[in-house]
């Protein structure tokens, strides 16, 4: 590994097309459970803290790494840091968590974890992201809250 640990030249991938709205989805009488695409749409435009790119464009989040169980109120998300030593991993995970916290009904239990084997401090980061007390305290820190808000504010 080179001495500088941050990823200067990340791989950039294409963006998905907008979701096509089906007739059933427009029909108010048809139940419309949350699905992976809906969750993906909520988080794919989160900005990377280091690059002027979205988490989707960096393949940090991918639809097939999202698992939704609407009936059980459970959402599991795996995210993949661009490099195994990425010091921004916790911040990215926090941004995903906060974005979903603000977007989804409170009945959902959201788990945000690093894709297994893709980060050197996987367990430590996962433990932090699962600790709601630490997250609550972090969000009361104005500086950190500003950084997160910047990540999750969509560019127009």
Alpha carbon 48 to its chain centroid, in Å, reads 10
Nearer to other proteins, 46 or 94 (CB): 94
CA 15-128-40 angle, to 5 degrees, is 20
* Least Cβ distance, residue 139 to other proteins (angstroms): 10
Asked whether position 133 contacts other proteins by CB under 8 A, the answer is yes
Nearer to other proteins, 44 or 99 (CB): 99
Asked whether position 132 contacts other proteins by CB under 8 A, the answer is yes
Which string of x and - marks every residue 64-103 that binds other proteins (by CB under 8 A)? ----------------------------------------
Specify burial of residue 66 (Cβ count, 10 A radius: 0-12, 13-18, 19+). buried
What is the chain's length?
A: 156
Task: With contacts defined by CB under 8 A, name the span among 1-9, 38-46, 57-65, 136-144 that binds other proteins.
Answer: 136-144
Nearer to other proteins, 21 or 136 (CB): 136
Dihedral in degrees, nearest 10, Cα atoms 103, 67, 152, 25: -50
The CA distance from 60 to 55, in Å, is 5
Task: With contacts defined by CB under 8 A, name the span among 41-49, 52-60, 90-98, 105-113 that binds other proteins.
Answer: 105-113
Of 129, 155, 132, the residue nearest 47 (C-alpha): 155
The CA distance from 119 to 7, in Å, is 13
Asked whether position 146 contacts other proteins by CB under 8 A, the answer is no
Binding site for other proteins (CB under 8 A): 106-107, 109, 127, 130-134, 136-137, 140
């Amino acid at each position: 590994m080179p001495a500088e640990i941050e990823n200067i030249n990340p791989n950039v991938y294409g963006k998905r097309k907008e979701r096509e709205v089906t007739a059933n989805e427009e029909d108010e009488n048809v139940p419309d459970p949350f699905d992976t695409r809906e969750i993906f749409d909520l988080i794919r435009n989160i900005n990377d803290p280091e690059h002027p790119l979205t988490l989707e464009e960096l393949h940090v989040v991918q639809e097939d790494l999202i698992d939704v169980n609407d009936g059980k109120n459970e959402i599991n998300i795996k995210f993949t840091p661009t490099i195994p030593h990425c010091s921004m991993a916790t911040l990215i995970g926090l941004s995903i968590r906060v974005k979903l916290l603000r977007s989804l009904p409170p009945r959902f239990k959201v788990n945000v974890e690093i894709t297994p084997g893709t980060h050197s401090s996987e367990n430590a980061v996962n433990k932090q992201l699962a600790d709601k007390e630490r997250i609550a305290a972090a969000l009361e820190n104005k500086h950190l809250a500003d950084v997160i808000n910047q990540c999750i504010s969509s560019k127009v």
